[in-house]
A and B are shown apart, each in its own frame.
Chain A
């Protein structure tokens, strides 16, 4: 055994953790090496000196202050989080519940679709007859678009799209209600579609506002709005606005994904694999969405979405996984916060 090898084992020797064969080898070396014996004596003295540092005791009133702080009313998120934890944990209960919720929504949508002829006609896919046409403007005398009157506004982007398209409608609500004849032209067909604009709108809004399906990347979600837009885009030449609006929505979806994150930072950990698994669990626990995960030589970059309500608690838990350093702090906290976490060792 060399001097280097022997000295590398001094800590384990002092802590009595050396396996017997190693212990024998070190002892044999020490018998022959005076320098290592002296070094071991100095090493033992160092450890003894460090261990002689007395314990630090908390101040006399420390426990009292901590207990009082714990009794302070918690922020809203904490009770809600505990309630959510009670509802959603353990995992074997949570997953079937979520799956059942998704199925319930799907069944509800299918039921509405089957029992609403207007919806079925509206979603019938027709090839575009005109490649490029200017949008049909709303008539000045048309009342406020039905979509605007009836819609709850859960998502600003989708709502803006619908409002723009609803504004192009030239069929007043009262007139559409009185239509009872079979459509004889494309204009009449579209009027028929809007005979029950409240129903069509309510169904479309319900579809848009329903509990979302399991998280998917933004690009995959893009096709869904096409159906909604068709439902709400009656009128002459509406196929062109449909195509334009769909493309616009897709461009906006792509732009949103390409936009810089709201918050980005670096999480320095001891084990990247362990931290990544814990981070994914954290995302699920806070009902976030994992958007992307890329690995390179320096680390793993994980992009996720978390609701504003869960943001603070998520960051607090993130700090328990390792050293969390914010590179790009949030200038504002939107409803869904996009966070990029760079995990490195």
Chain B
């Protein structure tokens, strides 16, 4: 996904603060896949991910006046989405169903390939299960770093963590995945 320039972002932010509806549309269109992607990887359910992603955009829409603009818009959206996902995962009801089924089903569809299809799907399922088995905090850091491509500093800013904590948490998550995926490697 193309990263907008800093000037583009400032201009968009100014328009958002003025309450221009087209500005909000542009924000959603620009960042929908990022926001949805994080929610989907965290929650595993497409329906829940859509709910949370929509809520993240609406929260951003309502609180844009309080956003100082010192971080990227994407970082800000990642921050809102991450919090919403963690809160959702923390709810009593959610604890009973830790993993959504949609994610595994979509993996099976995505990996459909006539040659070596079964093995590839099995690897994909094992990979996604391993990621889903991580604790919420570790999974979030892996999703932001390795799936969304954020730098340590961006993750730290989005999650309100020191950079050292991000580094450490990411390393622990990767080491855990390394053990779980040993048979695949």
Contacts and interface: CB of A to CB of B under 8 A. Distances in A.
Q: Secondary structure at chain B's binding surface: helix, strand, loop or mixed?
A: helix
Given A53-B128, A56-B40, A82 B65 contact: yes
A323 interface: yes
B21 to A, nearest CB: 7
Give chain B's interface residue range (CB within 8 Å of chain A).
35 or more
Interface stretch (A43-51, A132-140, A254-262): A43-51
A178 to B, nearest CB: 60
Contact of A85 (B37, B50, B65, B177): B65
B13 interface: no
Interface centre among B35, B87, B110, B131, by most chain A C-beta atoms within 10 angstroms, is B87
A67 interface: yes
Interface string B88-107: 00100000000000000010
Nearest to A320: B83
Given A49-B184, A51-B146, A56-B36, A69 B58 contact: yes
A65 interface: yes
Interface in A307-329: 316-317, 319-325
Contact of A56 (B41, B161, B177): B41
A271 B28 contact: no
B20 to A, nearest CB: 12
Contacts of B49: 56
A274 interface: yes
Q: Secondary structure at chain A's binding surface: helix, strand, loop or mixed?
A: helix
B16 to A, nearest CB: 11
B139 to A, nearest CB: 11
Contact of B170 (A11, A67, A317): A11
A46 B90 contact: no
A17 B65 contact: no
A163 to B, nearest CB: 43
Given A55-B147, A67-B24, 5 more contacts: A45-B185, A46-B181, A50-B127, A50-B174, A78-B62
Q: Which 7 A-B pairs have the closest CB atoms?
A: A58-B36, A11-B171, A56-B37, A58-B32, A46-B178, A56-B40, A50-B146
26 contacts: A11-B170, A12-B167, A17-B152, A42-B182, A46-B181, A46-B185, A49-B181, A50-B127, A55-B37, A55-B147, A56-B49, A59-B46, A62-B53, A66-B28, A66-B57, A67-B21, A67-B25, A70-B57, A74-B62, A89-B65, A270-B165, A275-B160, A319-B87, A320-B79, A322-B160, A323-B90
Interface of B: 1, 21, 24-25, 28-29, 32-33, 35-37, 40-41, 46, 49-50, 53-54, 57-59, 61-63, 65, 79-80, 83-84, 86-87, 90, 106, 110, 127-128, 131, 142, 146-147, 152, 159-162, 165, 167, 170-171, 174-175, 177-178, 181-182, 184-185
